[in-house]
């Protein structure tokens, strides 16, 4: 039996050995390919993690770069403001240092100062006591916009600027024409070379002052009659956050009162409080700046009247507007003693409130309606 089995082993076909060899080779290659694929997947996963880490680091660097840039710009603004204050106090100090005094000259200066104070008091001796009544003039245009008169001119023209980004001014000869149903057909259209941003523009002495769309804080002075840009300026520190939380499109709010042109904006470095800037409308230069105690949180608008800033607050969903913060730049009035002043009962919100120093009233834009508010004033103490 053993001899027979030995003979069978000798005659095993070579094909079986080859088949086994091929099978083992395939199995080996399959395992190697599987390992290779797994290595590739591990490498791709590691590369993706690495890419995410690099992108995260780059994003952090860009954010840090922006923060540093903002801090530098803010520091430059503060230095510039401090320099102006130093120059001012230096000029005051120098004016007090004199060796020889001309008595006649001193008397003349005292008389001029007294006359200036009398003029200031005669044109600006009132304090807002209440928002008395409202008159719905018209309902036209978008939810946000601005309409106004020119308190620096004797004419009765009405100007309408619709929307938060636009470049068309509608000029009406008077308020009766504006109130007509087909009012835009009788309006003079003035096209601006650059669109405005927000609704904080103002018209004064024949010029439109507005925040140029796409710029951080550039204010343009535009001659309405000649239809050309006369001058422009940058407002230091402005444009980074909305002036009022409830009016996010408005970064700079320009205002007019008995003393001329003002700008209102908010700065993050002082907790989002409002900053007032007095602007010389002729030279387009900053005269002085005040950091106020009025917050931009829940504010929807503000206006200047007789050197006092009145800030209007509301609820995010809309409600009855109220003035609950005031700031007197001259410090002649204790604004903390001014009570909260409510607007006449009307649910809604304001995108713009302008003070008309000639008529002593407010022109407001509320949810597409143009409104006039009558004011009740009282004498300053």
Q: What is the pLDDT of residues 153-192, one digit of tens each?
A: 888 899 999 999 999 999 999 999 999 877 777 899 999 9
Q: Give mean pLDDT, residues 142-157.
A: 91
Weakest mean pLDDT among 19-23, 170-174, 263-267: 19-23
From first CA to last CA, the distance across the chain in angstroms is 136
Q: What is the topology classification, in CATH, of domain 126-379?
A: Neuraminidase (2.120.10)
DSSP, res 258: T
Check pLDDT > 90 for residue 196.
yes
- C-alpha angle 285-326-247 in degrees, rounded to nearest 5: 75
pLDDT score recorded for residue 380:
76
The rounded mean pLDDT for the chain is 84
Check pLDDT > 90 for residue 200.
yes
pLDDT score recorded for residue 74:
66
Q: Give mean pLDDT, residues 245-261.
A: 96
Question: Which of the pair, 373 or 60, is modelled with greater confidence?
Answer: 373
**In the structure encoding, which two tokens stand for residue 125, read together?**
């001796």
pLDDT score recorded for residue 133:
83
How many Å is the Cα radius of gyration of the chain?
Answer: 36
Check pLDDT > 90 for residue 238.
yes
Considering the chain, what percentage of its residues have pLDDT values greater than 90? 55
Question: Which of the pair, 293 or 123, is modelled with greater confidence?
Answer: 293
pLDDT score recorded for residue 60:
76
Weakest mean pLDDT among 61-70, 186-195, 285-294: 61-70
Distances (CA, A) of 295 to 71, 164, 213: 21, 23, 25
Give residue 345's pLDDT band: very low, low, confident or very high (50, 70, 90): confident
pLDDT score recorded for residue 188:
93
pLDDT score recorded for residue 117:
45
Q: Give mean pLDDT, residues 120-131.
A: 76
- pLDDT tens digits along 356-369: 999 999 999 999 99
> How far apart (Å, rounded) are the C-alpha atoms in residues 169 and 160?
6
Question: Which of the pair, 236 or 57, is modelled with greater confidence?
Answer: 236
Give residue 14's pLDDT band: very low, low, confident or very high (50, 70, 90): low
Task: Map out the domains of the chain as residue ranges.
Answer: 16-94, 126-379
Weakest mean pLDDT among 26-35, 104-113, 118-127: 104-113
pLDDT score recorded for residue 9:
52
pLDDT score recorded for residue 114:
52
Nearest to 221 by CA among 238, 243, 239, 196: 196
pLDDT score recorded for residue 90:
54
Distances (CA, A) of 293 to 75, 240, 261, 272, 297: 21, 19, 21, 10, 12
Check pLDDT > 70 for residue 272.
yes
pLDDT score recorded for residue 25:
83
CB-count exposure of residue 344 (10 Å: 0-12, 13-18, 19+): middle
pLDDT score recorded for residue 319:
84
């Amino acid at each position: 039996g053993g001899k027979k089995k030995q003979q069978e082993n000798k005659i095993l076909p070579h094909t079986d050995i080859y088949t086994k060899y091929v099978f083992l080779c395939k199995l080996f290659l399959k395992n190697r390919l599987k390992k290779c694929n797994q290595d590739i997947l591990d490498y791709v996963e590691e590369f993706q993690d690495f890419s995410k880490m690099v992108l995260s680091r780059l994003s952090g660097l860009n954010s840090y770069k922006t923060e540093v840039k903002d801090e530098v710009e803010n520091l430059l603004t503060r230095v510039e403001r401090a320099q102006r204050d130093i120059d001012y106090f230096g000029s005051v100090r120098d004016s007090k240092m004199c060796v020889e005094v001309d008595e006649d000259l001193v008397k003349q200066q005292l008389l001029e100062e007294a006359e200036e104070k009398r003029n200031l008091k005669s044109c600006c001796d009132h304090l807002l006591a209440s928002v008395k009544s409202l008159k719905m003039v018209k309902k036209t245009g978008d939810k946000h916009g601005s309409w106004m008169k020119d308190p620096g001119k004797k004419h009765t023209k009405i100007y309408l600027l619709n929307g938060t980004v636009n470049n068309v001014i509608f000029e009406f000869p008077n308020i009766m024409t504006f109130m007509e149903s087909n009012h835009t057909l009788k309006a003079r259209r003035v096209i601006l070379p650059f669109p405005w941003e927000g609704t904080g523009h103002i018209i004064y002495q024949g010029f439109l002052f507005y925040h140029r769309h796409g710029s951080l804080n550039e204010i343009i002075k535009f001659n309405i009659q000649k239809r050309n840009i006369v001058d422009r300026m940058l407002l230091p520190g402005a444009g980074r956050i909305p002036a009022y939380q409830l009016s996010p499109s408005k970064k700079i709010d320009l205002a007019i009162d008995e003393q001329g042109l003002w700008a209102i904006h908010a700065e993050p470095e002082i907790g989002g409080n409002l900053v007032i800037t007095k602007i010389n409308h002729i030279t387009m230069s900053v005269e002085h700046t005040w950091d106020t105690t009025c917050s931009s949180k829940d504010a929807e608008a503000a206006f200047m009247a007789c050197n006092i800033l009145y800030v209007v607050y509301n609820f995010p969903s809309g409600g009855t507007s109220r003035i609950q913060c005031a700031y007197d730049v001259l410090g002649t009035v204790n604004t903390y003693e001014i009570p909260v002043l409510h607007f006449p009962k009307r649910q809604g919100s304001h995108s713009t409130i302008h003070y008309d120093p000639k008529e002593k009233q407010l022109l407001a834009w509320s949810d597409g309606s143009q409104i006039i508010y009558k004011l009740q004033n009282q004498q300053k103490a």
